[in-house]
Amino acid sequence: MELNLKGKVAIVTGGSKGIGKGIAASLLQEGATVVITARNADELEDTAAMFRLQGKDVLAVVADMTKEADLQRLVNTTVQQLGHIDILVNDIWGGELLKGGPPEWNKPLWDHDLDKGFRILRLAIDTHIITSRHLLPLLIDKPGGLLVEVTDGTTDYNASHYRISVFYDLAKVAVNRLAFSQGHELEPHGATAVALTPGWLRSEIMLDYFDIFQLIFVCRSRTTFDFSIRSINFFHCIMQGT
């Protein structure tokens, strides 16, 4: 697909790996200048170096999206070097390990650790709001801006499916609604917002997780495979027992 994003500037949060890295790569491929952010400086610089070796125009800024001082530094750096943004991708999470593995799923609220639960909400919801609060002013100074809220699960799916726990469930539902409400507020400025739910991904964290737990996958052909995530097509398999 030819999007012709030459001259456009995008910020991709969580851009050092996983979905964010893939989105950043696609935007760069289409000619955009991309700012990638992440908390881990080493991972961020490794990703930026890879893009630069490909001749891509990328800027890396270490930032923790729960810290307003980091966001302000990101804003200042972006304004000084690029002046404006056309696309903001809120790909912020970091709570995957907090939700625990299958033995921890489907526990009622009263059996949950509140600190962990509220940390999930902090990482899944507060970070998106804080990031938008600081960066959207750079997007609305001229029409045509796009905000992308990355989440997991469509609105229709989430409306009828319980998602592991009260905290995780709320986190997944809320980001879709954030895209809706921010789209409403962006409209008068000639900008818009969408929610993106990529689905099951062969990301670094998924590879690490399943390498550790050596799960067994069952393909729709009903053939059972001893686990080897690197040889199974995710999109044609389902986990046994889920």
Q: Which domains does the chain have, with CATH numbers?
A: 9-199 (3.40.50.720), 200-242 (no CATH)
* Whether 105 contacts 164, CB under 8 Å: yes
Q: Can you give the pTM of this predicted structure?
A: 0.81
Residue 158 confidence (pLDDT): 86
Residue 128 confidence (pLDDT): 95
Give residue-wise pLDDT tens across range 183-220: 999 999 999 999 998 866 666 666 565 554 444 444 33
Give the three-state DSSP class for 228. Answer: coil
Residue 242 confidence (pLDDT): 32
- In this prediction, the residues of the chain whose per-residue pLDDT falls under 50 are 212-242
Residue 5, CA distances (Å) to 2, 14, 52, 75, 154 in order: 9, 21, 18, 21, 27
Give the three-state DSSP class for 185. Answer: helix
- The sign of the torsion formed by the CA atoms of 227, 228, 229, 231 equals negative
